[in-house]
Amino acid sequence: MTDLTAWKKEGILAPVSQLIPVTRDKKTSLPPHYTQQLVTIVGLKTTTARFMPVSHEGDSNETYVDKVDNLRGVSRAEFIARKLKATERRAHMRLFREMTEKETGKEWQTTFQNWFKIPCEIPNGLCTVCWNDSLFGSLEAGKGATFSRARYFDTYSIESSNDCVAQTGSEEGMAVGNTVGEDLAKGRGDASLHYYEYVKAGTHFPFITIIESPTLLDIAGLLHAITLADLHGHGKYSANHGKFETEVWAVSTGVPRFSILNMLDWAADGVDSLRDRFISKGERPLFEAPSGGTPLTLWEAEIDTLRGELTNTFKEYISLL
């Protein structure tokens, strides 16, 4: 029972056709249909280029990547949930603008103005009513907020930061770049150089993302947004850095009976031992339905059926606006 028909039958996904349009301040929206169900997406992100997870101020001309000491016995690079979410949210926004243009044949700004009375933009021009605000949450000063239905978790490198971070004392050492304000007419001195640590290509970060009261559009949209975010780049200097490849191993209608920390433990003998847990037909990690019963879980290639639903579900959604 892993095909989508079963998912739709079980009432786990809020059917887009049952979302009830609401018009407030001349804005029409489809507020979430609170099914009290959820969907968990689990997988592995692998850096394909230098990655700079930075959530703190560095020294004036040095940047250090986020690290944690002794997490399950290993020092690791840290990739915080807030940053992962922000990049995927922006990718989601771009994706839906593109789909809007494709479906309507008009510039997205015009269409958004029609639908939402504002071309929804991050961070200060959120419309509070579109698919993006509904999924990731939004705030309109003085008018209220919508809560995020997407839950992200901090994650950590499977590899030790001693091995996966280029830093002082590592084989590669810190990288050297120019400071932004460098005066090219002058000779180069220390002040014109910027030193930075980075996570090396080939480093692995397991991830778990949960969507509450999901529609099929939420899930299909997020699966595509993950891929786009990987190409766009995560972390600091994401124009050139922070590219990833993501394997999605499981999408389940249950809550995971395991955490990121368990996933790190399962990878103690290498990434393959973690991967085997999800992609082999042997002992697979447990998901538990929030309201009892057996959750439905799609594994690896089966997940493509969810991705494939994007265009049709989007058409259905906009036909209601």
In the chain, what is the straight-line distance between the N-terminal and C-terminal CA atoms, in Å? Answer: 33
Output the smallest distance, CB 114 to Zn ion, in A: 13
Size of the site for Zn ion (CB under 5 A): 5
**Residue with smaller CB distance to Zn ion, 6 or 122:** 122
Output the smallest distance, CB 133 to Zn ion, in A: 4
Residues 6+ positions from 41 with CB-CB distance below 8 Å: 207, 208, 209, 210, 211, 219, 222, 223, 248, 250, 251
Task: Give CA–CA dist 30/20, Å, rounded.
Answer: 6
Please check whether residue 161 is in contact with residue 67, taking contact to mean a CB–CB distance below 8 angstroms: yes
Task: Give CA–CA dist 244/231, Å, rounded.
Answer: 7
**Residue with smaller CB distance to Zn ion, 130 or 158:** 130
Residue nearest to Zn ion (CB): 120
**Residue with smaller CB distance to Zn ion, 132 or 252:** 132
Q: Which stretch binds Zn ion (CB under 5 A): 18-26, 112-120, 282-290, 302-310?
A: 112-120
Output the smallest distance, CB 151 to Zn ion, in A: 19
Residues 6+ positions from 243 with CB-CB distance below 8 Å: 47, 48, 49, 51, 230, 231, 233
**Residue with smaller CB distance to Zn ion, 13 or 127:** 127
Give φ, ψ of 246 to 5 degrees.
-115, 130
Residue 123, classified by CB atoms within 10 Å of its CB into exposed (0-12), middle (13-18) or buried (19+), is exposed
Please check whether residue 79 is in contact with residue 231, taking contact to mean a CB–CB distance below 8 angstroms: no
Output the smallest distance, CB 278 to Zn ion, in A: 34
Output the smallest distance, CB 95 to Zn ion, in A: 13
Residue 117, classified by CB atoms within 10 Å of its CB into exposed (0-12), middle (13-18) or buried (19+), is middle
Output the smallest distance, CB 13 to Zn ion, in A: 21
Q: Which of residues 120-149 bind Zn ion (CB under 5 A)?
A: 120, 127, 130, 132-133
**Residue with smaller CB distance to Zn ion, 84 or 135:** 135
Output the smallest distance, CB 140 to Zn ion, in A: 10
The number of beta carbons lying within 10 Å of the beta carbon of residue 88 is: 23
Whether the bond into 123 is cis, omega within 30 of 0? yes
**Residue with smaller CB distance to Zn ion, 132 or 167:** 132
**Residue with smaller CB distance to Zn ion, 65 or 129:** 129
Q: Which two tokens stand for residue 163?
A: 């091995």
Stated as kind and residue range, the H or E segment containing 85 is: helix 81-104
Q: Does 165 bind Zn ion (CB under 5 A)?
A: no
**Residue with smaller CB distance to Zn ion, 66 or 133:** 133
Output the smallest distance, CB 286 to Zn ion, in A: 36
Q: Does 77 bind Zn ion (CB under 5 A)?
A: no
Residues that bind Zn ion (CB under 5 A): 120, 127, 130, 132-133
